[in-house]
């Protein structure tokens, strides 16, 4: 009698350690091979966009902290840039430098989390993650000096920042900039050439460049396949045109490239912070913009290169104290569009790794 | 620096390629008729000079007298951008053609607009709720949405 097989549909999540939050995938398997994937969202939907319509422009900053909660600074920056564009407010130079430094430190912190969990999912249980969190802790300490908070920062304001960096911030930052490259070397020594890592990630979860662009992917996912598209270069905001850095790109767009791009981006971010430290002028850290901003009626789209990709805020004003509409273009949600194409044909074990390599955050996906 | 194309420039090109699709233009925005969205987008994507290969975002705004679907487009090739808008005046059953066949990136975003604003995208391969569950009453991002009593 011939052996008959049938595809099996499995629900992965919403409670699963590797799903980075509450995320569910309905996967159809043929044995261990993936035939179809359907992501299911909404378990962390808090209605941030609707809540924003009932708060003043300044109050919404606290909501943005809670989108991608491992990269609050980038969210703050994207939002205040959109409001400043809408209300035509120009922050002073010192504030712009402080914001860029904060956003770049946040990029390092976010990539450390991404790399740490990525390796954890490969089975490198505990050690690499703890190494990454050790350095992230130092960045959180720096943020604590800046604004008193560690995760939900609300550091930025429309027209500037909340407060100037205290005197003890600068030596601490200098020390961090000196030791961080050694830590990155340590990860690379330990992991980048590791045979298990190479075997599990090279040529796995490949997505060609044209497909990536068509799926509106952004950030390291897009750059890993060789597309040189970074908003800090393509559409410079704040003071990015004054600092030197290059955009690391991959070649193939596999899991390994996505990992390498993140490691390389951390080095570039350190380089940017270093230059900002040299260039930062003395002066005010906030314009005289009122706390109760009333932008003229109209709309504006502000975007930044957040650690996970292009984060944008589309704001519509009716002239009142609260946004009439606040749409968030979240990179995590849109990068997930490509997930299906990355996974079909691969095995269950590759699924967890590939999903980790996109680096999504459910707070931002569901909003 | 990404160059924002002027509405006038794009509207002129569109008038030649897709007659009577453009409703209005202003600064960097172009308004098109909702039923013509797909043809307009196909032209914007395929035209060798415009070449909008990247759909940044799909949003919708409820202006009470009409809905406005907003497409932010970017050309990675040419590094220029455009804001395309379409007004839906039918409040009972607003709909626009889906652009998933051109940009796959519209897939989840159109589903989100459908879920929260209640605008149907004709031709979408899998148009169902994304953030809320099936059977949820109403569309919360509409301005006339009232929270049901507990």
CA B35 to chain centre: 11
Q: What is the CA radius of gyration of chain A?
A: 21
Q: How far off is chain B from A43, nearest CA to CA, in Å?
A: 8
Q: How far off is chain A from B67, nearest CA to CA, in Å?
A: 12
Residue B77 lies in a domain: yes
> Quick count: other Cβ atoms within 10 Å of Cβ A125?
10
Q: What is the percent of chain A where pLDDT is above 70?
A: 99
Q: Which residues of B touch A25 (CB under 8 A)?
A: none
Mean pLDDT, range A275-288, rounded to an integer: 88
Written as six digits, the tokens of A29 are 């398997």
Residue B115 lies in a domain: no
Q: Which residues of B touch A229 (CB under 8 A)?
A: 76
Burial-class residue A17 by CB neighbours within 10 Å (0-12, 13-18, 19+). exposed
Distance CA B115, CA B134 (A): 9
Interface of B with A in 80-99 (CB under 8 A): 83
* Residues of chain A with a CB closer than 8 angstroms to some CB in chain B: 41-42, 45, 47, 49-50, 211, 213-217, 227, 229, 234-236, 299, 301, 303, 310, 312, 314, 316, 324-325, 327, 329, 333-334, 336-337, 366-367
Q: pLDDT of A52-82, one tens digit each?
A: 988 999 999 999 988 888 889 999 999 999 9
Burial-class residue A47 by CB neighbours within 10 Å (0-12, 13-18, 19+). middle
Mean pLDDT, range A278-285, rounded to an integer: 88
CB A367 within 8 A of CB A49: yes
Q: Give the residue among B98, B89, B145, B90 at the shortest CA–CA distance from B117.
A: B145
Annotated domain spans of chain A: 49-338
Number of helices (H), then strands (E), in chain A = 15, 8
Written as six digits, the tokens of A70 are 């491992």
Q: Indicate the average pLDDT of chain A.
A: 88
**Does the beta-carbon distance from A235 to B2 stay under 8 Å?**
yes
The confidence score (pLDDT) of residue A105 equals 92
Q: Three-state SS for A156?
A: strand
**Does the beta-carbon distance from B131 to A310 stay under 8 Å?**
no
Q: How far off is chain A from B133, nearest CA to CA, in Å?
A: 8
Q: What is the percent of chain A where pLDDT is above 90?
A: 28
Q: Give the residue among A245, A238, A304, A267 at the shortest CA–CA distance from A73.
A: A304
Q: Give the residue among B36, B107, B31, B103 at the shortest CA–CA distance from B67.
A: B31
Pairing of strands A325-329, A309-317: antiparallel
Mean pLDDT, range A177-187, rounded to an integer: 89
Superfamily of domain A49-338: Cytochrome-c3 Hydrogenase, chain B (1.10.645.10)
By Cβ distance, the residue of B129, B131, B133 closest to A366 is B131
A301, A326, A342, best to mutate vs chain B, most B CBs in 10 Å:
A301
Instruction: Give yes or no for B109 touching A (CB within 8 A).
Output: yes
Confidence class for position A110, pLDDT limits 50, 70, 90: very high
**Does the beta-carbon distance from A327 to B57 stay under 8 Å?**
yes
Q: Give B73's strand partners.
A: B55, B82
Q: Give the residue among A361, A357, A367, A348 at the shortest CA–CA distance from A28.
A: A348
Confidence class for position B50, pLDDT limits 50, 70, 90: confident
Flag whether pLDDT at B85 surpasses 80. yes
By Cβ distance, the residue of A42, A303, A314 closest to B59 is A314
Identify the closest residue of chain A to B83 by CA–CA distance: A301
Pairing of strands B29-32, B54-62: unpaired
Residue B111 lies in a domain: no
Residue B135 lies in a domain: no
Q: What is the percent of chain B where pLDDT is above 70?
A: 100
Mean pLDDT, range A265-294, rounded to an integer: 88
Q: pLDDT of A287-308, one tens digit each?
A: 887 788 888 988 999 999 999 9
CA B37 to chain centre: 7
Q: pLDDT of B92-132, one tens digit each?
A: 888 899 999 989 889 999 999 999 998 999 888 888 888 88
Mean pLDDT, range A109-132, rounded to an integer: 84
**Does the beta-carbon distance from B2 to A314 stay under 8 Å?**
no
Q: Three-state SS for A282?
A: coil
Residue B118 lies in a domain: no
Q: How far off is chain B from A230, nearest CA to CA, in Å?
A: 10
Mean pLDDT, range B54-69, rounded to an integer: 91
Residue B16 lies in a domain: yes
Instruction: Match 């909404």 to its residue by tokens.
Output: A42
Flag whether pLDDT at A155 surpasses 80. yes
Mean pLDDT, range A118-145, rounded to an integer: 85
Flag whether pLDDT at A316 surpasses 70. yes
Pairing of strands B22-26, B29-32: antiparallel
CB A259 within 8 A of CB A118: yes
Q: How far off is chain A from B137, nearest CA to CA, in Å?
A: 15
**What is the total count of domains within chain B?**
1
Q: Tell me what percent of chain B is helix, strand and coil, each rounded to the nearest 5.
A: 25, 30, 45
By Cβ distance, the residue of B62, B105, B132 closest to A215 is B105
Residue B144 lies in a domain: no
Burial-class residue A59 by CB neighbours within 10 Å (0-12, 13-18, 19+). middle
Q: Which residues of A touch B83 (CB under 8 A)?
A: 301
Q: Which residues of B touch A324 (CB under 8 A)?
A: 61
Q: pLDDT of A322-364, one tens digit each?
A: 999 999 999 989 998 888 888 888 888 888 888 888 888 888 8
In Å, how far are A241, A341, B106 from A94, measured between CA atoms?
A: 15, 44, 39
Written as six digits, the tokens of A318 are 């009716």
Q: What is the CATH number of the domain that holds B71?
A: 3.30.460.80
Flag whether pLDDT at B70 surpasses 90. yes
**Does the beta-carbon distance from A314 to B70 stay under 8 Å?**
yes
CA A233 to chain centre: 17
CB A12 within 8 A of CB A24: yes
Flag whether pLDDT at A159 surpasses 90. no
Mean pLDDT, range A277-295, rounded to an integer: 86
Confidence class for position A117, pLDDT limits 50, 70, 90: confident
ipTM comes to: 0.89
Chain A / chain B CB contacts < 8 angstroms: 86
B4, B29, B101, B105, best to mutate vs chain A, most A CBs in 10 Å:
B105
Flag whether pLDDT at B54 surpasses 80. yes
Residue B13 lies in a domain: yes
**Does the beta-carbon distance from B131 to A41 stay under 8 Å?**
yes
The confidence score (pLDDT) of residue A126 equals 78
Q: Give the residue among A274, A334, A271, A340 at the shortest CA–CA distance from A306.
A: A334
By Cβ distance, the residue of A45, A47, A337 closest to B105 is A337
CB A312 within 8 A of CB A216: no
Segments of A85-210 assigned E as strands: 156-157, 160-161
Flag whether pLDDT at A313 surpasses 90. yes
Flag whether pLDDT at A17 surpasses 70. no
Helix or strand (DSSP H, E) at B84 = strand B80-88
Instruction: Match 């396949």 to its residue by tokens.
Output: A225
């Amino acid at each position: 009698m011939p052996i008959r097989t049938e595809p099996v549909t499995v629900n992965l999540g919403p409670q699963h350690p590797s799903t980075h939050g509450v995320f569910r995938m309905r996967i159809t398997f043929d044995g261990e091979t993936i035939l179809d994937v359907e992501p299911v969202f909404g378990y962390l939907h808090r209605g941030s966009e609707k809540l924003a319509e009932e708060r003043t422009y300044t109050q919404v900053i606290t909501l943005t902290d809670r989108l991608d909660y491992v990269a609050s600074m980038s969210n703050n920056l994207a939002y205040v840039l959109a409001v400043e564009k809408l209300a035509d407010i120009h922050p002073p130079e010192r504030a712009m430098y402080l914001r860029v430094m904060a956003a770049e430190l946040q990029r390092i912190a976010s990539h450390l989390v991404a790399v740490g969990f990525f390796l954890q999912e490969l089975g490198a249980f505990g050690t690499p993650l703890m190494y990454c969190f050790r350095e992230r802790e130092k960045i959180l300490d720096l943020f604590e000096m800046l604004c008193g908070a560690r995760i939900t920062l609300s550091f930025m304001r429309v027209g500037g920042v909340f407060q100037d960096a205290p005197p003890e911030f600068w030596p601490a930052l200098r020390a961090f900039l000196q030791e961080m490259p050694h830590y990155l070397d340590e990860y690379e020594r330990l992991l980048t050439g590791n045979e298990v890592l190479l075997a599990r990630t090279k040529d796995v979860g490949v997505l060609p460049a044209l497909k990536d662009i068509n799926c509106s992917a952004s950030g390291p996912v897009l750059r890993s396949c060789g597309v040189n598209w970074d908003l800090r270069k393509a559409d410079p905001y704040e003071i990015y045109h004054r600092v030197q850095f290059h955009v690391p790109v991959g070649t193939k767009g596999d899991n390994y490239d996505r990992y390498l791009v993140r490691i390389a981006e951390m080095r570039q971010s350190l380089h940017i912070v270093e230059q900002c430290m040299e260039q930062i002028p003395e002066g005010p850290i906030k314009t005289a913009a009122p706390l109760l901003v009333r932008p003229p009626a109209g709309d504006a789209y502000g975007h930044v290169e957040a650690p996970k990709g292009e984060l944008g805020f589309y704001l519509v004003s009716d002239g009142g104290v609260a946004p009439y509409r606040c749409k968030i273009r979240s990179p995590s949600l849109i990068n997930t569009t490509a997930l299906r194409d990355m996974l079909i044909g691969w095995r269950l074990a590759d699924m967890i790794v590939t999903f980790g390599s996109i680096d999504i955050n459910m707070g931002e996906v569901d909003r | 620096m990404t160059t924002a194309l002027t509405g006038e420039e794009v509207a002129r090109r569109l008038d030649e390629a897709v007659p009577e699709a453009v409703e209005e233009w202003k600064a960097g925005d172009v308004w098109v008729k909702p039923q013509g969205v797909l043809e307009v987008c196909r032209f914007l994507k395929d035209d060798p000079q415009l070449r909008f290969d990247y759909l940044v975002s799909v949003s919708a705004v409820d202006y009470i007298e009409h809905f406005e679907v907003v497409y932010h487009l970017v050309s990675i090739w040419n590094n220029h951008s455009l804001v395309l808008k379409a007004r839906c005046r039918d409040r009972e059953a607003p709909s626009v053609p889906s652009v998933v066949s051109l940009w796959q990136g519209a897939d989840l975003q159109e589903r989100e607009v459908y879920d929260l604003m209640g605008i149907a995208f004709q031709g979408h391969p899998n148009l169902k709720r994304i953030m809320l569950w099936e059977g949820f009453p109403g569309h919360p991002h509409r301005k006339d949405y009232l929270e049901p009593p507990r």
